[in-house]
Amino acid sequence: MRYQPVMGLEIHCEMLTNSKVFCSCQNEFGGGENTRVCPRCSGMPGTLPLLNKGAVKLAAKAGFATNCTVNNYSAFDRKNYFYPDLPKAYQITQFESPICTDGYIDVVGGKRIRINRIHIEEDAGKLVHDDYEGVSMADYNRCGVPLIEIVTEPDFRSVEEVQDFVTQIAQRMKYAGVCDARMEQGSLRVDVNISLMPIGSDKFGTRTEIKNLNSVKSIGRAIEYEIKRQADILDDGGEVVQETRRYNDSQDNTKSLRSKVEAHDYRYFPEPDIPPVVFTDEEIEEIRKEMPELPQERFLRYTEGYKIPQEDAKLIIAQKEFSDFYDEAVKITPEYKLIANLMLGEISHQLNDREMDITAVTFTPANMAKIAEMAAGGVVSKGSAKDIIIIMFDKGGEPEAIAKDNGFIMDNDTSGLDEIIDKVLIEQADAVEKYKNGNDKLFGFIMGQAIKAAGKGANPALIKEALASKLK
């Protein structure tokens, strides 16, 4: 039988606050075991949580970035379960009254994916397994790192929709300053709920939840595997078991996380240690005003304001830092298309070759602007502009000095050009003859020879002009 997959997402994002969500330990990635821990986040008896205003603010921003309503009233609850990475044996989260509700994002094909809610919660610690001794070691540095959980409705019907949504969430959270969205480091984690129903049906099947998806690519692979697994079960007349499954990237399969059926009952109840939070309309408006430009807004600015082709604009905004670099550069020299071309061309090329990130380059957007200015103004050729970029990658330096030192500055003096061109026309008499007889393609060849003869500093535009008039 053919089946329609139905999917919903739960996305956890670690928020970029200075301190943890319920204590004043620093919120940072990595570090020595149990070095960013206090009595509060290690759940010592007698301690109480203290809600971080910054976390509430970023959660509200996440709401604005996803078209949610930021609620005037939100409250915290306890989710009770025992696990050694959770020192209090309950996670403080928002169950009944989340901070944001009713949002959406439009994905490929113009499909609208509804967001049910965004709530604030605390992250758990980390367990390192020592297989040799058969024990685990608990490190609580991550305990209390502020998270938001974005919960969608089961609106996804294809892998592409899911992947586009996750990509957009990662970008939006990054742009809004909520989360650095590094899936490989676990700062953005995606769980997929997935079920199948016969095509044409509107009754959802039993769903499974897949955890441990650490890239957009593995989300696609995991979903495809799981669709096939469930379809095989259903085709054999079996029943899908509602369970949590873990995706194994290297084996490309999903495995059940629990060997025996465990009755989960989280016994949620209102957190008595944290008063509910009230946001006035003015406070919500204040935060909304602080919202930075989001990727979809930037996309419109590039395509409609700067007339950048849509595909190029999409590539530029894909990484916020890359796009920020571009914005800084065009602010100085408004050569929108030229800079876009250079950045998507030579710069991207070099970054790829060197396995680097735009954040690691030593030159500045101002340098980039300078190169564009020189290329646009005919001071250097576009080809030299690329060469300057390569030199900056290799050795650094100022674009103008590089251009001078390497003889890239174009000679706009036409005196002597006539002689050089005449000499080339004699040398290439054959080609000239053929050109005159209608072989238009040879103009480029003759032009190349002329540039070569004129040297690096020659202005190709002027050579072209002179050559054209002579060959008329």
Partner 1 sequence: MTLTELRKKLDSHEIGAVELAQDYLKKIKERDAVINSYITVCEEEAIEMAKKAQGVIDRGEAKPLTGIPVSVKDNICTDGIRTTCASRMLEDFVPVYDATAVAKLKAENYVMLGKTNMDEFAMGGSSQTSYFGGPTNPYNTDCVTGGSSGGAAASVAAGLCAAALGSDTGGSVRQPSAFCGVTGLKPTYGTVSRWGLIAFASSLDQIGVVANSAEDTAYVLNTIYGYDENDATTSQKSMGDYTSMVGEDISKLKIGVPKEFFEGTDDEVREAVLKAADYYKHLGCEIVECSLPSLKYAVAAYYLISSAEAASNLSRFDGIKYGYRSNVGEDYNELIKNTRREGFGNEVKHRIMLGNYALCSGYYDAYYNNARRIRTQIRNEYSAIFEKCDVILTPTAPTTAYKIGEQENDPVKMYTADICTVTVNIAGLPAISTTCGYDKNGMPIGMSLTGKAFDEKTIVAVCDKFEKDFDRKECAL
Partner 2 sequence: MFDEKLTAHMAELSKLSFTPEELTAMTKDMTDIIALMDTVCDFSPEIKPYALDAVDYEELRKDEYQDSYSTEKILENTENVKNNSFVVPKVV
Angle between helical axes of 417-427 and 429-436 (0-180°, round to 10): 90
Site string for partner 1, 105-144 (x = CB under 8 A): -------------------------------x-x------
Burial of 221 (0-12, 13-18, 19+ CB in 10 A): middle
Q: Record the tokens describing residue 47, joined without a space.
A: 């301690």
73 touches, from partner 1, partner 2, none (C-beta below 5 to 8 Å by class): partner 2
Residues within the interface to partner 2 (CB under 8 A):
17-20, 24-27, 32-39, 42, 50-57, 73, 75, 82-84, 127-130, 134-140, 259, 263, 265, 267, 270, 272, 274-280, 283
Beta strands in 384-459 (DSSP E): none
Q: What angle do CA 123, 188, 177 make, to 5 degrees?
A: 95
Compute the least distance from the CB of residue 45 to partner 2, in Å.
Answer: 10
Asked if 273 touches partner 1 (CB under 8 A), the answer is: yes
Helix (H, G, I), strand (E, B) or coil at 397: coil
27 touches, from partner 2, partner 1, none (C-beta below 5 to 8 Å by class): partner 2
Asked if 78 touches partner 1 (CB under 8 A), the answer is: yes
Instruction: List all residues 6 or more positions away from 368 whose beta carbon is below 8 Å from its beta carbon.
Output: 325, 329, 339, 342, 343, 347
268 touches, from partner 1, partner 2, none (C-beta below 5 to 8 Å by class): partner 1
Q: CB 182: neighbour CB atoms within 10 A?
A: 14
Q: Record the tokens describing residue 64, joined without a space.
A: 């604005």
Question: Between residues 85 and 191, which has the closer beta carbon with respect to partner 1?
Answer: 85
Question: Between residues 278 and 468, which has the closer beta carbon with respect to partner 2?
Answer: 278
Question: Between residues 42 and 381, which has the closer beta carbon with respect to partner 2?
Answer: 42
Question: Between residues 129 and 331, which has the closer beta carbon with respect to partner 1?
Answer: 129
Asked if 395 touches partner 1 (CB under 8 A), the answer is: no
Q: Is the dihedral of CA 302, 384, 380, 332 positive or negative?
A: positive
Helix (H, G, I), strand (E, B) or coil at 342: helix
Question: Between residues 47 and 296, which has the closer beta carbon with respect to partner 2?
Answer: 47
Compute the least distance from the CB of residue 249 to partner 1, in Å.
Answer: 26
CA nearest neighbour of 5 among 210, 172, 179: 210
Choosing from 5, 8, 63, 87, the residue that interacts with partner 1 (CB under 8 A) is 87
Give the DSSP letter of residue 1. -
For binding to partner 1 (CB under 8 A), which residues are involved?
A: 39, 42-51, 78, 80, 82, 84, 87-90, 136, 138, 265, 267-269, 272-275
